[in-house]
Amino acid sequence: MSHTPRPVALLLNVAHALDHLFLLVFATAVTTIALEFGFSRWEDLMPYSVGAFVMFGLGSMPSGRLGDLWGRRRMMLVFFFGIGASALLAALTVNAWQMAAALTLIGIFASIYHPVGIPMLVQHAKSPGATIGVNGLAGNLGIAAAAIVTGFLVKWVGWRAAFVVPGLVAIACGVLFARIAPHETEPPATRGRKSAVELPAAMLARVFTVMTAAAATASLLFNLTTNGNGQLLAERMRGVIDDPATLGMLLAGVYALSSLAQVVVGRLIDRVPLKRLYLTVALAQAPLLALAAYAQGWWLYAALTGVMILIFGAIPFTDAMIVRYVDDRMRSRVAGMRLTVSIGISSLAVWLLGPVVKAGGFHTLMLAMAGIALCTTAIVAWLPGEAATRRAAAALASG
């Protein structure tokens, strides 16, 4: 097979959308769920979702290992059916601890996609940056869908439907994927494909360290914003727009527009030196986050749009580095190890979000995120430049 068949690529992109949608259904509906479960404030229920994000990270390592050694097609089938069934269980919960267990189960199956689905998608790609960009667009459209679809389902049907509908969609996608995805003749670990740029072990370790650390800080920003934006808009737009469904549509608009940044960045990665591009995107986040800390009403909405464009625009870099520097035979395992560390750390954001906002408000949270963005910039500055990697690769080839 010289390329990934288009219907399979489409389902892999839909899977990315579903992956992010499922992780945000609870955060979008948390106010309604909190009232039904007997909580007076959404902030008090929010920490119960931390298990989903912890397992989203911790599960990535075994998921990546199974993807390389057992097969990516098989693991994607586990993803579709497992996450769909877990969502149906979440819809049946009647208290906070049952919900916590169901969300943790969703996190376990959600951990499969990134170390398995993305390597499966790019393994034959001629322009991996562009492919990653489109895949990132799909994932963030899932975030947008979580905002708008969950908002409408909660308003018109109830919060349980917000889990049931995407759960049934995921199971249907699994049935379709089983029918059209070609069977793998061998697991990825036994293939003979090499990375695009081969580096000495010391430089590869440096790249992996930068990749993991930058991904951890970027994931902190991603989790804090995507889990908190709904409540931020509700607070800062109060008196301007108060209807939850309308706020959901506004937030979906932010995510949809921001998703396009991944397509742009993905194409630029194939053409522009990666370090320079990454530094530019990371550094630009801090001033906009600081501005958002003080903005109200429509000014907040404009600042938030800028923030999310840059946060989403930073997402393709890690996968691009894996494609560029890591052999396809072990990409799922490397991605899994990276995700375990970075998402494991960033899952703290979900646990801290409610208490931090309750204690210091969104003003404090946004200023802290500006500091995190500066940390990302400092980490990326340590990434080897294009000239250095070319010299190292040439020396390795000649030696």
Tell me the pTM: 0.75
Residue type, 212: T
| Rounded Cα–Cα distance for residues 229 and 53 (Å) | 17
Section 335-358 average pLDDT: 77
Is residue 230 a contact partner of residue 248, using CB atoms and an 8 Å limit? yes
Higher pLDDT, 192 or 292: 292
Max intra-chain CA distance, the chain: 68
Is residue 100 a contact partner of residue 177, using CB atoms and an 8 Å limit? no
Residue ranges of domains in the chain, CATH in brackets: 6-398 (1.20.1250.20)
Q: How far is CA 73 from CA 112, 134, 278, 308, 316, in A?
A: 11, 20, 32, 32, 23
Nearest to 397 by CA among 204, 200, 134, 257: 200
Section 142-159 average pLDDT: 86
Nearest to 204 by CA among 362, 293, 324, 82: 324
Section 151-162 average pLDDT: 90
pLDDT at 239: 84
Sign of CA dihedral 161, 167, 173, 176: negative
Q: How far is CA 39 from CA 45, 90, 350, in A?
A: 7, 18, 18
Instruction: Give residue 307's Cα distance to chain centre.
Output: 16
Sign of CA dihedral 151, 152, 153, 156: positive
Is residue 250 a contact partner of residue 325, using CB atoms and an 8 Å limit? no
Per-residue pLDDT band for 169 (boundaries 50, 70, 90) equals: very high
Q: Is the pLDDT of residue 195 over 70?
A: no
350-379 tens-digit pLDDT:
677 778 888 888 889 899 999 999 999 999
Terminal-residue alpha carbon distance, the chain: 33
At residue 174's C-alpha, the angle toward residues 112 and 145, to 5°, is 75
3-state secondary structure of 31: helix
User: For the ranges 202-206, 300-304, 312-316, which has the lowest average pLDDT?
Assistant: 202-206
Is residue 261 a contact partner of residue 138, using CB atoms and an 8 Å limit? no
The most confident of the ranges 55-59, 275-279, 389-393 is 275-279
| Rounded Cα–Cα distance for residues 312 and 143 (Å) | 11
The conformational region for residue 182 under phi > 0 = left, psi -120 to 50 = alpha, else beta, is beta
| Rounded Cα–Cα distance for residues 307 and 315 (Å) | 13
pLDDT at 393: 62
Per-residue pLDDT band for 2 (boundaries 50, 70, 90) equals: very low
DSSP state of 92: T
